[in-house]
Amino acid sequence: MGLLRATKVRIRPETGPEITSVRDPGAKDMFTKDRDIKRADLLPPNETSISPRDKIAICKFFKDLLDVDLDRENDAIADAVFQQFPGQVKRLQELERRYNRLPNRPNLPSALVKLRESLEKCTRSRQVEDTVIAVKKNLDALRDGIQELGISLTDLTDSAVDAVTKAINIRDNQVAQLKQIERWTEITKAIAALSEQLNSDRSWRDITSLEPHLQAIEQHYKAVRLNLIETQENQAKEIQGRIKQRQGFLKLNEKQGEYVLRSVQEATYDTTQDALYPSLLELKDSALIKLQKAEKAANTSLDNVLSEVTEEQVVQLPLNLSGREVSTEAEIEALVKQLKERLLAQLKPNTRIRLS
């Protein structure tokens, strides 16, 4: 046992891996069971590649990066590996959790990928000598990785993840919508700062400096959206006003009036200046189209209701004159004659004609 502790011998059991340390699995049985020691081979130590200089470097790594003082012995080094490395695995997992929260998750830096592999290799075997050899082979990757891990955990806090997520959402929603309707030139500087930050390798660094630019973008978006909402509401009021001015509308009761105007009311988008949907483009273009269709529907509804109230049928006559051109007096007279004939053809007792 003394020779084994002094690394002067190694033991090859009848089964299982060689024993080079009293800490190795099976070492205790070797010295408490006559059968095991009698059937084992006692051999001179391996010519391992672990030199005193290697042990110095390993112990320096533990001191500098993990604040652990070690004796320059294989047993002490192996013990430190299994005491310290599981904690580093957990720290790395915590960093990966934060990475997973980032939109369009970036890849881990290569130093951290190598660190994950090195930690696994160093804790794969419970044999002392194998563990120390693994640490020696992966020492550079361990040193670089743990340094990078500390920096990354400090930079990429949960609040930094939230800030990056907010910035990306503003870029993908508010900025994208403003560009769709070409209403972004007033905040060109803020958008440029946002783009530069998010395009950097580690967008979470100094992310707090972006906050004034994000506020400028959000305020401009809200102002533009509110303007479109008010425009939509004004257009709806104008349409309702035109319908109310039609002959016979005043004969309707409250319930009938609400029925006629309902399509116009339902055509407006129910939204606020803080919302993201419907988009600015929909508020700008689709809202007008919806209101135009709603006006036609409201007029048709009014025709039907008036026919019931006044017993006078309202006939809709589409003029279909959009794009029609006239250039001479004769053409004008011909057009008027054509319209007159169409109107007279529809004119009947108890009938009114509505041109559309």
What span, in angstroms and rounded, lies between the C-alpha atoms of 197 and 299?
53
pLDDT tops 60 at residue 40: no
Other CB atoms within a 10 A radius of the CB of residue 160 amount to 20
The pLDDT tens digits for 43-74 are 566 656 678 899 999 999 999 999 999 988 88
| pLDDT at res. 337 | 77
pLDDT tops 70 at residue 8: no
- Percentage of the chain modeled with pLDDT above 90: 48
CA 203 to chain centre: 14
The pLDDT tens digits for 114-129 are 999 999 999 998 888 8
| pLDDT at res. 6 | 61
What is the CB-side half-sphere exposure of residue 238 using CA atoms within 13 A?
A: 9
| pLDDT at res. 91 | 96
Residue 179 pLDDT class (50, 70, 90 cuts):
very high
pLDDT tops 60 at residue 339: yes
pLDDT tops 80 at residue 314: no
| pLDDT at res. 201 | 84
Work out whether the CA dihedral 155, 161, 166, 169 comes out positive or negative: positive
What span, in angstroms and rounded, lies between the C-alpha atoms of 216 and 154?
28
**Three-state SS letters, the chain:** CHHHHCCCCEEECCCCCCECCCCCCCHHHHCCCHHHHHHCEEECCCCCCCCHHHHHHHHHHHHHHHCCCCCCCHHHHHHHHHHHHHHHHHHHHHHHHHHHHCCCCCCCCHHHHHHHHHHHHHCCCCCHHHHHHHHHHCHHHHHHHHHHHHHHHHHCCHHHHHHHHHHHHHHHHHHHHHHHCCCCHHHHHHHHHHHHHHCCCCCCCCHHHHHHHHHHHHHHHHHHHHHHHHHHHHHHHHHHHHHHCCCCHHHCCHHHHHHHHHHHHHHCCCCCCCCCCCCHHHHHHHHHHHHHHHHHHHHHHHHHHHHHHHCCEEEEECCCCCCCCCCCHHHHHHHHHHHHHHHHHHCCCCEEEEEC
Average pLDDT, the chain: 85
2 or 145, greater pLDDT: 145
166 torsion bin: left (phi>0), alpha (psi -120 to 50), beta (else): alpha
| pLDDT at res. 123 | 93
Domain residue ranges in the chain: 2-43, 52-156, 165-224, 315-356
What is the value of pTM for the model shown?
0.68
| pLDDT at res. 20 | 64
| pLDDT at res. 323 | 72
Determine the average pLDDT of the residues in 146-158. Answer: 94
What span, in angstroms and rounded, lies between the C-alpha atoms of 66 and 238?
74
What span, in angstroms and rounded, lies between the C-alpha atoms of 134 and 54?
12
| pLDDT at res. 299 | 83
